[in-house]
Amino acid sequence: MPTIVSKLPKVGTTIFTVMSQLAMEHQAVNLGQGFPDFPVPDLLVESLDRAMRAGHNQYAPMTGIPALRQAIANKTERVYGWRPNADTEVTVTSGATEAIFNAIHAVVHAGEEVVVLDPCYDCYEPAIELAEATAVHVALDPQTFAPDWSKVRAAITPRTRMLMINSPHNPSGAMLSAADMAEVAAILRDNPNVFLLSDEVYEHIVFDGARHESVLRYPELRERAFVVSSFGKTYHCTGWKVGYCIAPAALSAEFRKVHQYNTFCTFAPAQHAFAEMIEREPAHYEELGAFYQAKRDRFAAQLRETRLKPLHVPGGYFQLVDYSAVSDLDDLAFCRWLTTEHGVAAIPLSPFYETPPAGQRLARLCFAKNDATLDAALARLRKL
């Protein structure tokens, strides 16, 4: 066999796969991987069934079916007060991960740099490395997960081609404010060759009356940005793997060049179903924050009855817990111990970092679960 020289030498099996497999082996309650265990909306299932029975089972248009792109444009205008061009600025993708990969490969070249904010989702750096570029990691505050924009500014060099932001943030749930967006705008204004990639897959899961500060609200930002979202997070169907990217026409044209030779098109019946769901039941995404806030509050209140300390969660469906009162193990060892010995699977934070903070004792739990699932986990966590 020829010698294999890996293009991703640092990459192994993702921590999500590892912990989910461990959960299965030990019959643990899986609060690790971020997927809901409750049903998708009835209308969505019915629409999918109708679409398949109507014969929408062949290749969809490369950019997405017109009805879905129009529905996305309508929703964007309804939520953020600005309407993208459905034909030239909206592209449907096979999940947000594909969209992130496409955006990076559309504009980032070999030898260039992409600034990412740690902790960050694990698909970012491999996509950057496959573009033969370098991920430049800037640490968020280890307690609040807020960015220090002076450090971000200092990380930008003449080789920087892209800045990546994520709000609501995975894994912490922290959110960027209007003041943060002003800082981003100022940085980009001073660095005219840098594009922005905004990962907004949890855009509708926002709590306590806060407003999601989408890049799409800000003309100066959206004119040079790829904004990525996910139907899987909004409609409880992560296994369908459908997302989309909104970007200016010139950026979308380059994005689509990568997309058409990556997946080309996306699961056709689901596109018809999402188009109908968006138009007929806008209340679903409008009420999603309240739906998950009730789960967040219930889960956090019960966690306070354990030795785990829940951190504040402004958005998203993940709860960080400080386990330092339980164990001095590092987070990888702790999550493995928690799964194998106590029957609850969690995700350690260190895989989200290039350099994890010394002594950090945090784990991520997913509360996008039925109450019965969460109660079963909490019964075990109370025994720690």
Please state the three-class secondary structure of the chain as a single string: CCCCCCCCCCCCCCHHHHHHHHHHHCCCEECCCCCCCCCCCHHHHHHHHHHHHCCCCCCCCCCCCHHHHHHHHHHHHHHHCCCCCCCCCEEEECCHHHHHHHHHHHHCCCCCEEEEEECCCCCHHHHHHHCCCEEEEEECCCCCCCCCHHHHHHHCCCCEEEEEEECCCCCCCCCCCHHHHHHHHHHHHCCCCCEEEEECCCCCCECCCCCCCCHHHCHHHHCCEEEEEEHHHHCCCHHHCCEEEECCHHHHHHHHHHHHCCCCCCCHHHHHHHHHHHHHCHHHHHCHHHHHHHHHHHHHHHHCCCCCEECCCCECCEEEEECCCCCCCCHHHHHHHHHHHHCEECEECHHHCCCCCCCCCEEEEECCCCHHHHHHHHHHHCCC
Mean pLDDT lowest for which of 21-30, 42-51, 255-264? 21-30
Is 42-282 the same fold as 15-40+286-381? no
For residue 219, the tally of other CB atoms under 10 A from its CB is: 9
pTM of the full predicted structure? 0.97
Q: List CB contacts of 130: < 8 A, sequence separation 6 or more.
A: 7, 8, 101, 105
pLDDT digits over 285-321, tens only? 999 999 999 999 999 999 999 999 999 999 999 999 9
Q: What is the mean pLDDT of the chain?
A: 97
> Looking at the predicted structure, is the pLDDT value of residue 268 above 90?
yes
pLDDT digits over 87-98, tens only? 999 999 999 999
Q: How confident is the model at residue 12 (pLDDT cuts 50, 70, 90)?
A: confident
Q: Among 2.40.50.100, 3.40.50.12240, 3.20.20.70, 3.90.1150.10, what is the CATH number of 15-40+286-381?
A: 3.90.1150.10
> Looking at the predicted structure, is the pLDDT value of residue 185 above 90?
yes
According to the model, what pLDDT value does residue 14 have? 85
According to the model, what pLDDT value does residue 16 have? 87
pLDDT digits over 96-130, tens only? 999 999 999 999 999 999 999 999 999 999 999 99
> Looking at the predicted structure, is the pLDDT value of residue 11 above 90?
no
According to the model, what pLDDT value does residue 10 have? 87
In CATH, the number for domain 42-282 is 3.40.640.10
Can you give the residue ranges of every domain in the chain? 15-40+286-381, 42-282
